[in-house]
């Protein structure tokens, strides 16, 4: 028998960027059964708000006063079994595994265009684990045995300019904006992007940022 949600589901948001936080609030409250009980921007405020138990906790990993992983651990100390979903720009392999080991049961990338937050929260509450495809792919890689013969790394193959384009993409700039910042044509940026995807063996900006972070080509915030 299908599990149904409560009449109203109380969601707490922990996200330090004000624009993103309010966007998440609007998307969640557009769902007929979801409401936002708290929306805060720091780990300290999150742990204080968690004196009251929510039905679901959404948490970013990069907070100004600590890691979202500490919030996950603190939340579960207060409320065992609380459904927790990470929602972040990207994460390197260490952060992804760390968040899941701490107790997160979902992990979404903010710029995953297939992500519908209301449906993801329903899935979480019904015992599922919503995970963006790029994260699932890297989790699989993490638990696979290492190859027996060393392969050449993208770190050696990426040029300085390609790393620069990738770093700007990570900061959220569009390709048109990157072209303007670097005084290059959009077609040139498109060419760099194609080469980056080929060298990292990925098919999207999200996957390129994630893979580059995992390899240490760009710094995660």
pLDDT of residue 16: 92
pLDDT of residue 176: 87
Cα separation, 44 vs 60, in Å, equals 13
**Domain boundaries along the sequence of the chain:** 9-143, 154-214
Strand pairing category for 9-14 and 66-67: unpaired
Per-residue pLDDT for the chain (221 aa), expressed as one digit of tens each?
Answer: 444 556 789 999 999 999 999 999 999 999 999 999 999 999 999 999 999 999 999 999 889 998 899 999 999 999 999 999 999 875 567 778 888 889 999 998 877 655 689 999 999 999 999 988 777 776 776 666 655 544 444 444 688 888 889 888 887 788 888 999 999 998 899 888 888 888 887 777 777 877 777 777 766 54
- How is domain 154-214 classified at the architecture level of CATH? Orthogonal Bundle (1.10)
Instruction: Tell me the two tokens of residue 30.
Output: 């557009």
Cβ atoms within 10 Å, residue 181:
13
> CATH number for the 9-143 domain, one of 3.40.50.720, 3.40.50.2300, 3.50.50.60, 3.30.1330.20?
3.40.50.2300
Nearest to 11 by CA among 136, 122, 146: 122
pLDDT of residue 152: 46
Strand pairing category for 84-88 and 66-67: unpaired
Query: How far apart, in Å, do the first and last CA atoms of the chain sit?
Result: 42
Cα separation, 58 vs 107, in Å, equals 9
Cα separation, 47 vs 63, in Å, equals 13
């Amino acid at each position: 028998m299908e599990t149904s949600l409560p009449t109203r589901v109380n969601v707490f948001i922990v996200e330090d960027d004000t624009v993103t936080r309010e966007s998440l609030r609007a998307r969640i409250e557009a769902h007929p059964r979801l409401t936002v009980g708290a929306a805060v921007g720091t780990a300290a405020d999150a742990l204080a708000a968690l004196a009251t138990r929510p039905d679901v906790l959404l948490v970013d990993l990069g907070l100004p006063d600590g890691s979202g992983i500490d919030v996950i651990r603190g939340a579960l100390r207060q409320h065992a079994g609380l459904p927790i979903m990470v929602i972040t720009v990207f994460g390197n392999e260490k952060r992804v595994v760390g968040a899941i080991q701490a107790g997160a049961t979902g992990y979404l990338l903010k710029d995953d265009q297939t992500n519908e937050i209301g449906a993801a929260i329903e899935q979480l509450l019904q015992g599922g684990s919503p995970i963006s495809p790029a994260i699932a792919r890297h989790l699989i890689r993490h638990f696979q045995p290492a190859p027996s013969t060393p392969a050449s790394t993208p770190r050696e193959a990426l040029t300085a300019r390609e790393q620069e384009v990738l770093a700007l993409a990570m900061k959220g700039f569009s390709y048109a904006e990157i072209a303007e910042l670097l005084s290059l044509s959009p077609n040139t940026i498109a060419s760099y992007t194609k080469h980056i995807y080929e060298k990292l063996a990925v098919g999207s900006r999200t996957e390129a940022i994630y893979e580059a972070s995992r390899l240490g080509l760009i710094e995660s915030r």
